[in-house]
Amino acid sequence: MSSKKDKEIEIEMINTKENNKPNSKNRTSPKKAAKKTSKKKISKSTKTLMVFICIAVIFMCCGIFFLVSNKAGKPVKSKDTQPTTTEKVVIKDFVGIKQAEYISTLEEYFTYGTSLCIRGSISAEDLTGIDINTIDKLSLVLKKAYTNEDGSIVEEDIEEFSLYTELNENKISYSSYEKINEGISLENFTDNEYCMLLKVTYNDGNTEYCTFDYEGKMEPLCYYTITKNGINQKIDMTLEKFEDKPYISFNVAESELPEDVYDIVLDPGHGGNDPGAVNGSYNEAVLMLDYALDIKAALEKEGYKVALTRDGTEDPNEKMAYTMYNENGRVNVACSTNAKFCLSLHLNSNAVQLSRGGIQIYYTYRGSESFAKNMVENIVEASGTYISPMLAFRVSDGVYTRAFSQSDIDSSRQDAVNDGYEPYNMTTDTDYYFMIRELGGKATNAYVDGRNARYGSNRYRDSRNGIESCIIEFGFISVDDDLNHILNNKDKYIEGLVNGINDWVKTN
């Protein structure tokens, strides 16, 4: 889907090159000056011939320019250019919506990282006269409509997304994701206005479309794609109605990133009065801030917009453990960036002296390990570090995830009783680490709502735009070999991390 876009970028780059050429017209070189004087000696007939040639050349240039600008194909986005008839969108005239007889219930929708997660259901009551057991599969279909040159309306299925389904008595539940970071990728849509419908395929091969209903008013969902070649797309998802039939409207348009929207947020661990783990004169807070500043510069060089949760200007007496949910605390600052990814940068430590430490990356318990695994592989390859042999919470080489266990939940309940507040509502699939859980919003069951007076609250806990968040433990500061490797190979670690992000952006 992105091939057209790539071409446009190429053309744009060529144009920029042309424009950047030094303007030779305004500069008269000594050689040219010499030519000017010698012109006087040219005969009249030669002069006429040259004028003729010049005019011919001008005409040819105009012709070439006309051909080139037509080849670009894309309607120019200047205000006074009319869009071509074939591009005109007549979304309200969708035949699919007009013919849709049934309405399914939209139960939940949110984004996590670059993934769109939609959950809903369709019940026997919705499908009057149809046996629910005759349904073979459900999918989400993205449709586009436009008027042809002869005025006829063309309706096209642009993309079909298969859904996970589960039949329970009289109801089929459907979902665009099994893991929250593996829903519909929002990174590859081309500019247009689309309509999203639920497609029902029956056992006999017949198909039908359903619209959506959502209890209460559906809040619009807004997503900005990651910056690629300096370009971003804005995707607006809203529930709209056509002749009383609700459908999901999906608008994609090129847009600059607003001031408060970033691609990536970096969170150097600890800070304030909390040095984190220590070995001799080295501490985690200082080392990870140093890494973060250089990672930010390296990612910005690649064109990404990067934010930091702290930059070292915080009060050295600040108790960061108690202020992380304040207005300027790391949780609210990270959430306010609307980034797609957050990387929390840490160093591990162990009370028992270990001979081997190694790298670990933690990711959300509700997601797949794909992002973390890709990142570990890239960092190990570039830096020459090694994978942690630690087995607790391990998923695969260097990749870890941790949810609340029942005993964690029990002790958290006990804390609530002791401190006199209503216990939080977590489950055994709620992430244990706050930077992973709280940045995911609805997707990860963020729950810090101010009921515990010692903390503030996460103002973004109900956010539908979850940030995919990982904790990178580069190595063990308590293991001398790890610490030396981290001190001496910063550029290589950073190169690996940047490769990890670039790889992900290229392949997703």
Task: Enumerate helices (H) and strands (E) in the chain, giving the number of each.
Answer: 12, 22
Q: Which is nearer to Zn ion, 235 or 359 (CB)?
A: 359
Cβ at position 433, least distance to Zn ion in Å: 10
Cβ at position 308, least distance to Zn ion in Å: 16
CA distances from 334 to 264, 409, 446, 457 (A): 9, 26, 14, 13
Q: Which is nearer to Zn ion, 142 or 292 (CB)?
A: 292
Q: Which is nearer to Zn ion, 180 or 277 (CB)?
A: 277
Element (H, E) at 248: strand 245-254
Q: Which is nearer to Zn ion, 269 or 466 (CB)?
A: 269
330 SS3 class: helix
Q: Which is nearer to Zn ion, 106 or 265 (CB)?
A: 265
Q: Which is nearer to Zn ion, 276 or 367 (CB)?
A: 276
Give strand pairing partners of 145. Answer: 155
Q: What angle do CA 275, 279, 281 make, to 5 degrees?
A: 75
The pair of structure tokens assigned to 87 is 């591009």
Q: Pick out residues in 281-320 that bind Zn ion (CB under 5 A).
A: none
Cβ at position 293, least distance to Zn ion in Å: 17
Considering only the stretches 80-88, 200-208, 263-271, 302-310, report the one whose residues sit in contact with Zn ion under the rule CB under 5 A.
263-271
Q: Which is nearer to Zn ion, 183 or 276 (CB)?
A: 276
Q: Which is nearer to Zn ion, 288 or 307 (CB)?
A: 288
What HEC string does 177-245 produce? CCCCCCCEECCCCCCEEEEEEEEEEECCCCEEEEEEECCCCCCCEEEECCCECCECEEEEEEEEEECCE
Applying CB under 5 A, what is the total number of residues that bind Zn ion? 3
140 SS3 class: strand
Whether 270 contacts 320, CB under 8 Å: yes
Q: b vs e for 253-263, b when ≥16 Cβ sit within 10 Å of the residue's Cβ?
A: eebebeeebbb
Give the span between the Cα atoms of 287 and 275, in whole angstroms. Answer: 10
Q: Which is nearer to Zn ion, 201 or 283 (CB)?
A: 283
Cβ at position 269, least distance to Zn ion in Å: 4
Cβ at position 477, least distance to Zn ion in Å: 9
- CA 188 vs. chain centroid, Å, equals 11
CA atoms within 13 A on the CB side of 134: 12
Q: Which is nearer to Zn ion, 346 or 373 (CB)?
A: 346
Q: For 305, phi and psi rounded to 5 degrees? A: -95, 120
Q: Choose, by CB under 5 A, the member of 113, 246, 272, 276 that binds Zn ion.
A: 276
| Site for Zn ion contains 269 (CB under 5 A) | yes
Cβ at position 349, least distance to Zn ion in Å: 8
Give the span between the Cα atoms of 228 and 235, in whole angstroms. Answer: 15
Site string for Zn ion, 317-346 (x = CB under 5 A): -----------------------------x
Cβ at position 276, least distance to Zn ion in Å: 5
Cβ at position 312, least distance to Zn ion in Å: 16
| Site for Zn ion contains 464 (CB under 5 A) | no
Element (H, E) at 175: strand 171-175
Site string for Zn ion, 345-384 (x = CB under 5 A): -x--------------------------------------
The pair of structure tokens assigned to 101 is 């007889």
Cβ at position 264, least distance to Zn ion in Å: 19
Cβ at position 12, least distance to Zn ion in Å: 43
Residue whose C-beta lies closest to Zn ion: 346
Instruction: Point out which residues bind Zn ion (CB under 5 A).
Output: 269, 276, 346
